[in-house]
Structure 1
């Protein structure tokens, strides 16, 4: 059975290898799953590189944090699933492999639909739900959410989830070519980042009609965080959930001191129980299967092409427009 194994921290080509492992066996309470599709995230590269804050694995380990597959064998005592059922794999279970045995209780049921799209449900989908439903819970229909990184999978999901709740979104992107694309997804306003927080804040003000913005989602970090803060009203909240720039968040002293702007980090540890999470996953999966939520897919690769996939994941902008999806079984 093929799998991508990491043996140390460093450049992917130096510390990962496609290996042939013994076939996994489903123990009592487990299911054996054949992986259809596994999403590759920026965090996967950071874990391989050993970036600051991403060094807590022991080696060797199998890479991959998210995926979807079919049950091909049941361990003793499993009654919730049958062979042929489709499931989401547990977060961080090492999904860049052809098959794996996992506890049945940790696998939410998955729906029919495009495996490449559904492979993004558990991390990107849930992130968007937590941001819109939890962190923006105080907003009323007609209120605005400001976000950067709006072309990301999470950004696209946020646009749709917010729209369905009657909320409006002002979306910051790096390229003007993305404006019609995001508008077609129900984005209310899309503006291009200027690189200057004050100038971008003026564009945001003009686009939103000068309304008071109380919350902004930041997945860029660095001066992207500062730009969000510059746009917010007094006591506004910046919610950071990523750092595409690879740099720490920056917030202006003036925004902190004069406006009391707050910076908080988003946690995937929402107060939802496992059963409540399954309900959310089912809702997201249904929306994805219908095409109501749709991520941009940059490319798909097999495990035999994994080093090409990792190199592609490291690219940004026009060189990688969308998600990288691994198809372990071709």
Structure 2
């Protein structure tokens, strides 16, 4: 089969290659999926660069999520329950940028046929992260402000739509002023640009001198620090990425005096704490919100697996709209 492989960490467009490799065989409790498509996510590219929290041994194939059809199963009941079905392919070790992938049977989740393949391909990482942070971890009440950085990202846009749906207000930080009007047009309650001055000053002009009670940040560095400085006493901030590769600068006096809480969020850790019924409820929530166009992924360009270099370059274009998909097969 064809698979995207990297033998050393580095820039994705330079180190990723398409190789002919043996088709994998499922072991006990595993299934093999004939892949249809997989998105190019920021987390995938961080792995290739060697900057993700957990790194594979090399050589390796990227790809944490995707869509495909289960074509072979190992021993165990769960595998037989999904054999022949189209599933969202949750691959916590990576490996979906290939024509076939082997995953634990419990990570192959059938999705209703009325949801298109391209939405199933991006069914998990962004939609589940948005729901988990807003509804389950922070539990943002109706009418409250949620401050988020990187608001122009696919995930950021989903959060704006979820805010409109659930009744909380979003205060959105972007780098480029050109993105402000677009986010406002899609329902953002307020948008600020980090290029227009300190984030905390701009935030308090909108919400008042106390600041915001809920915030999320995938950037770190100066942006994440500005988000932290915007917090009200008794506020809670989730850090779910390090796009800047720079640390937060946190004044401990603000944490001590105001009881502000800053904590990390990693979807994989959060999901492992969920029971099977809880996980199934989450997937039903996601499916219903995709149907309602709340957590539907905006899809950008698609590339065949042989054009992996073009795919990763497109995925990192500044101002790009929509998720880039890698087409690894067909139904």
Instruction: Normalising by structure 2, report the TM-score.
Output: 0.86
CA deviation after TM superposition for structure 1 residue 255, in Å: 4.1
Match of 2:228, SS?
helix
Residue in structure 1 matched with residue 88 of structure 2 by the alignment: 87
User: Root-mean-square deviation (CA), in Å?
Assistant: 2.6
1:23-48 Cα distance to aligned partner (Å, 9 max, x none): 33445544332212212122222211
Change (3 A) 1:58 1:228: same
Asked if 1:40 is matched to 2:62, the reply is no
Contact 2:165-2:294 at 8 Å conserved across structures: no
Mean Cα displacement is larger for which, 54-63 or 224-233?
54-63
Q: Distance in 2 between matches of 1:230 and 1:326?
A: 39
- SS for the counterpart of 1:37 is strand
Q: How does 1:253-292 map to 2 (within 5 A)?
A: 255-256=254-255, 259-268=258-267, 269-270=269-270, 271-292=273-294
Q: Do the aligned residues in 1 keep the contact of 2:149 with 2:216 (CA within 8 Å)?
A: yes
C-alpha distance 251-88 of structure 1, shift in aligned 2 (>3 A): same
Q: Please give the alpha-carbon distance, in whole angstroms, between the structure 2 residues aligned to 1:279 and 1:56.
A: 30
Q: Which moved more, 1:58-67 or 1:274-283?
A: 274-283
**CA 253–321 in structure 1, closer or farther in 2 if over 3 Å, else same:** farther
Equivalent pair of 1:86/1:111 in contact (CA under 8 Å): no
1:54-107, Cα deviation, whole Å (9 max, x unpaired): 463212222111111122344555431242433333333410001223332221
With over 3 angstroms needed to count, the CA separation of the structure-2 counterparts of 1:90 and 1:12, relative to structure 1, is closer
Moved more, 7-16 or 116-125: 7-16
Match of 1:63 in 2: 62
Identify unmatched segments of 5+ residues in structure 2.
Answer: none
Equivalence for 1:124: 126
Q: Measure how far apart 1:178 and its partner are.
A: 2.6
82-91 or 29-38, larger mean C-alpha shift: 82-91
Large movers: runs of 4+ above 6 Å: none
Alpha-carbon distance, 1:225 to partner? 1.3
Q: Does the Cα contact within 8 Å between 2:299 and 2:322 map onto a contact in 1?
A: yes
Moved more, 59-68 or 257-266: 257-266
Distance 1:196 1:103 in 2: 48
Q: State whether structure 2 residue 211 is matched by structure 1 residue 205.
A: no
User: How many angstroms does 1:147 deviate by?
Assistant: 0.8
Asked whether the equivalents of residues 214 and 237 of structure 1 are also in contact (C-alpha less than 8 Å), the reply is: yes
For 1:312, the equivalent position in structure 2 comes to: 314
8 Å CA contact 2:158, 2:294 repeated in 1: no
Q: Which moved more, 1:213-222 or 1:10-19?
A: 10-19
Sort the Cα spacing of 1:15 and 1:162 in 2 relative to 1 into closer, same or farther, 3 A. same
Superposition TM-score, scaled by structure 1 size: 0.86
Contact 2:87/2:120 (8 A) holds in 1: no
Partner of 1:58: helix, strand, or coil? coil
Kindly tell me the number of residue pairs found equivalent between the two proteins.
324
Preserved CA contact (<8 Å) 1:71 1:87: no
Mapping of residues 97-112 of structure 1, within 5 Å: 97-112=98-113
Superposition deviation, residue 214 in structure 1: 1.1
What's the secondary structure of 1:194's corresponding residue? helix
Structure 1 residue runs without a partner (length 5+): none
For residues 180 and 293 of structure 1, what CA distance do their matches in structure 2 show? 21
Alpha-carbon displacement from aligned partner over 1:241-288 (angstroms, at most 9, x marks no partner) = 112222222234664466453321113222322331232123213322
Task: Tell me if structure 1 keeps the 8 A contact 2:66–2:96.
Answer: yes
User: In structure 2, what is the equivalent of residue 222 of structure 1?
Assistant: 221
Deviation at 1:210, TM superposition (A): 5.5
